[in-house]
């Protein structure tokens, strides 16, 4: 159980275009979803936290207008990179969690999406 | 702000031997959660072990155990009988017990298993 999927797993786009990445919890209802960014050989950096039906909370330094997050349902969150540029190229990882006695604060991670902006 | 520090960028161990990965953290909270996550070459994050700060007993999961020293704010991971499949990046992470469940990750330690 507790499977999270991401789509696409790899995307290449031209500079100036927008790219949408989907994150789905397949077998549970995620009260909260998180989006991380990971540069090569570095750690995960939290970009934003989103709760179903409410606006995402962005971490300091993350551009809200550049990285649009929509958490439309308890099983789906999307990250849209708007007007992508080469410096946005990175590995994006989502995770999901839910409140429950056995899973306090545990996050279940998706397999990640590699974005390359040409 | 809460910070997590992993001072060992790389570690290596012989297969079947034991290795300990270090992690220290800084917090003013008394209740929180600590985690070790594994990221193999596939880059899928996998939870290795979790520790609740209010529990004095160290968590164990098969060959994985932690040494949780709350006063010293230290949370090391011991891997016994190391296997080739243990080769990965290991991240220590901190989470608040109340409010936002977000994770703060350390820099990571790359573990190599020598056959």
| Option in A43, A93, A97 nearest B108 (CB) | A43
Residues of B in contact with A34 (CB under 8 A): 102-103
For an interface test with B, the pick among A3, A42, A43 (most B C-beta atoms closer than 10 Å) comes out as A43
- A-chain CB neighbours of B50 within 8 Å are 106
Say yes or no for a CB contact (<8 Å) between A106 and B106: no
pLDDT of B1 over the 80 cut: no
Pairing of strands B74-79, B88-96: unpaired
User: What is the sign of the dihedral through the CA atoms of B14, B18, B24 and B25?
Assistant: positive
Q: Tell me the C-alpha distance between B13 and B11, whole Å.
A: 7
Query: pLDDT tens digits, residue range A57-110?
Result: 999 999 999 999 998 888 999 999 999 999 999 999 999 987 664 556 688 999
Quick: pLDDT tens for A20-69: 999 999 988 888 899 999 998 899 999 999 988 788 999 999 999 999 99
Average pLDDT, chain B: 94
pLDDT in tens, B61-99: 999 999 999 999 999 999 999 999 999 999 999 998 776
């Amino acid at each position: 159980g507790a499977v999270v999927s991401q789509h696409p797993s790899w995307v290449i786009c031209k500079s100036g275009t927008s790219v949408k990445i989907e994150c789905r919890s397949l077998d549970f209802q995620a009260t909260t979803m998180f989006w991380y960014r990971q540069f090569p050989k570095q750690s995960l950096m939290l970009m934003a936290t989103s709760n179903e039906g409410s606006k995402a909370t962005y971490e300091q330094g993350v551009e809200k207008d550049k990285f649009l997050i929509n958490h439309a349902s308890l099983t789906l969150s999307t990250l849209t990179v708007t007007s992508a540029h080469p410096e946005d190229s990175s590995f994006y990882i989502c995770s999901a969690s839910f409140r429950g006695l056995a899973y306090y604060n545990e996050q279940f991670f998706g397999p990640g999406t590699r974005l390359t902006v040409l | 702000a809460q910070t997590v520090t992993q001072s060992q960028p790389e570690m290596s161990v012989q297969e079947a031997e034991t290795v300990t990965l270090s992690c220290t953290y800084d917090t003013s909270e008394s209740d929180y959660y600590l985690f070790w996550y594994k990221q193999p070459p596939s880059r899928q994050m996998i939870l290795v072990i979790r520790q609740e700060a209010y529990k004095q007993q160290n968590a164990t999961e098969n060959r994985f155990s932690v040494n949780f020293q709350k006063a010293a704010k230290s949370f090391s991971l011991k891997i016994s009988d190391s296997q080739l499949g243990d080769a990965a990046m290991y991240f220590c992470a901190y989470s608040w017990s109340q409010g936002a469940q977000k994770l703060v990750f350390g820099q990571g330690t790359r573990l190599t298993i020598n056959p």
